[in-house]
Amino acid sequence: MTLEELIIVQSSVETGDPHQCSDSSDRNSILNHIFEPLVKRDGNGKFNPCLAFQWSVQPDGLTWLFRLHENILFHNGMKLSARDIVYNFERIVDPSIGGSFGTEGVYASYLSGAKFTARSDDIFTITTPEPMPDLLDLLSEMPIGYGEELDKLPRHYIGTGAYKVGSRKSYELELELFRSYWDKNPQVNELVWIREPNALRRVEMVLETDADIGSNIGHEGVRLTESSGRLVSRKFAGWLCIIFLFNMFQGVCKDRRIRQALNYALDKKELIRYAKNGAAEILNGFLTPHHFGYNSETEPYSYDPERARNLLLEAGYDDGFKLELDIPSSMPDEAPKLAEIISKFYSQIGIEVDVKEYYDRQKYAEMVKEKKIHDLCCFDSSPKSTFRVLREKLVSLYKGPWWQGYHNPEVNKLFIQATKTFDNKKREKIYQAIYEKITDDAPWLFLYRPYYFWAVNERAGFWYPGNDGLTTIK
């Protein structure tokens, strides 16, 4: 059965430039209906065809060849060609393409030296300066628009997705079904996205039938949803890791024993109950189970204050010490609560915490990127690509944007090995070995991955979140 219209209410309907790297679920939920990438991630490092139905890599590991599906049309009726792909990639890696919260130039840092070549209308190649087995990770995040009019972004969107843009307002966006869509059409003719910043109000709008799906409704929204008797909630355990980055350039956190002690000193279950109303899962390392190379056999840091005290003694801090802890006031919004409960647990093992709160989130991200944090700082890890997490945050060979001084020669060696390993199973085992070593070194305070919730009415009862955690209508 096809629905004429489905209304989705979320905190924002701003979409911006689709070629800017962003982890905003509101933004990406909309854009993923308008634009498509070459390949789609199917979880755990697997990729399915999308605009490209076939790909291969040459024996030297440098040149990838892609074949496009035939007769894919853009929303303006023009046929997709390899030249469109080349134009898009050249724009995506342009250093002038901006970003927010320190994401400027993310893709350029990986592909700025790559060559993109259209060999025919439906065949093109990407040649990278060095082998990149995880290239599909990056390509799955890159939306493709009509090549001749990319200069009109973000004012004018022309993609190949199942929906095209209708009317646009500051508080509302309409997407109309693209009747010439190349793949299976969704079961809804029109999607209407409405902006409502207040999470409880989003649930009320679904209750009042002003909307069909309310996204990111939070714990209180779930209670209202389930107590209504008329709505159901949907839950997804996300890709996002809420963490604290340790400063390993200077100070007490250079010592691995201190970092381990600070992980053992926290009762993560209590922390999640207090800061997230229980709506999260404890991390056992720097990845989630969704990520390629996640190691389910890795033991998480248990709550063991006695072990934490012994590690402090071993490191020579029998009288404790003072920690300076940085937090933003938002993103994550629970950061002040995290600082409060972390301070409580650390005081029990003789550590005094001085919390420094920052209210400008953009400047906070820049401070972290410039590696000017105090002893540790509240942050998140959002890439779905394990390759990106390692290169941007952990492998010292690259000193990436969010790297804070962690150095392990064995990890570096394994990572280089992974970048030369195109066999997925073998590369996965290498990443799992890296996972064990990094978890033991504790360069981060490993906390949790949050749950995300939606309120859904009977009309939208068919909908469930996919493995990307977005509000995607299929």
Domain, as residue range, for 190: 1-14+161-231+457-474
Residue 398 inside a domain? The answer is yes
* Residue 324 structure tokens: 């300076």
- Tokens at 346, concatenated: 């650390």
Q: Answer yes or no: do 211 and 301 share one domain.
A: no
Question: Do 358 and 410 lie in a common domain?
Answer: yes
- CA distances, 285 to each of 93, 399, 410, 465 (Å): 31, 20, 17, 25
Q: Are residues 284 and 402 in the same domain?
A: yes
CA atoms within 13 A on the CB side of 156: 10
Which residues of the chain fall below pLDDT 50?
none
Q: What is the pLDDT at residue 108?
A: 86
Assess whether 213 and 253 both reside in one domain: no
pLDDT score of 2 = 87
Same domain, 370 and 463: no
**432 domain-assigned:** yes
CA angle 189, 198, 474 (to 5 degrees): 25
Q: Which helix (H) or strand (E) holds 39?
A: strand 39-41
Same domain flag for 462 and 403 = no
Are 250 and 466 a contacting pair, CB within 8 Å?
Answer: no
Helices (H) and strands (E) in the chain, counts: 14, 18
Phi and psi, residue 17, nearest 5°:
-85, 120
Contact 140, 107 (CB under 8 A): no
* Residue 28 is assigned to a structural domain of this protein: no
Q: What is the CATH number of the domain that holds 317?
A: 3.10.105.10
* CATH number of the CATH domain containing 184: 3.40.190.10
Rounded to whole angstroms, the Cα distance separating 325 from 25 reads 28
Last residue of a domain, one of 156, 188, 211: 156
In a domain, 101, yes or no: yes
Beta-sheet strands, E only, within 350-459: 351-358, 376-381, 444-456
Per-residue confidence (pLDDT) for residue 1, from 0 to 100: 73
Number of domains composing the chain: 3
Is residue 468 assigned to a domain?
yes
Last residue of a domain, one of 124, 156, 188: 156
Q: Residue 140 domain-assigned?
A: yes
Residues 224 and 250 both lie in one domain: no
Last residue of a domain, one of 102, 124, 156: 156
Q: What would the two tokens of residue 225 be?
A: 């949803």
145 neighbors 7 (Cβ within 8 angstroms): no
- Assess if residue 29 is contained within a domain: no
The whole-model pTM stands at: 0.95
Whether residues 349 and 282 share a domain: the answer is: yes
Is 361 in the same domain as 380?
yes
368 and 274, same domain (yes or no): yes
Do 379 and 304 share a structural domain? Answer: yes
- Asked whether residue 252 is domain-assigned, the answer is yes
pLDDT of residue 118: 98
Same domain as 375, residue 412: yes
The pLDDT score that the predictor gives to residue 103 is: 63
Identify which of 357, 326, 381, 333 has the alpha carbon closest to the alpha carbon of residue 102.
381
The secondary structure of residue 289, as a DSSP letter, is: T
The domain that holds 136 is classified in CATH as 3.90.76.10
CA distance 352 to 268: 19
Closest CA to 420 of 62, 66, 107: 62
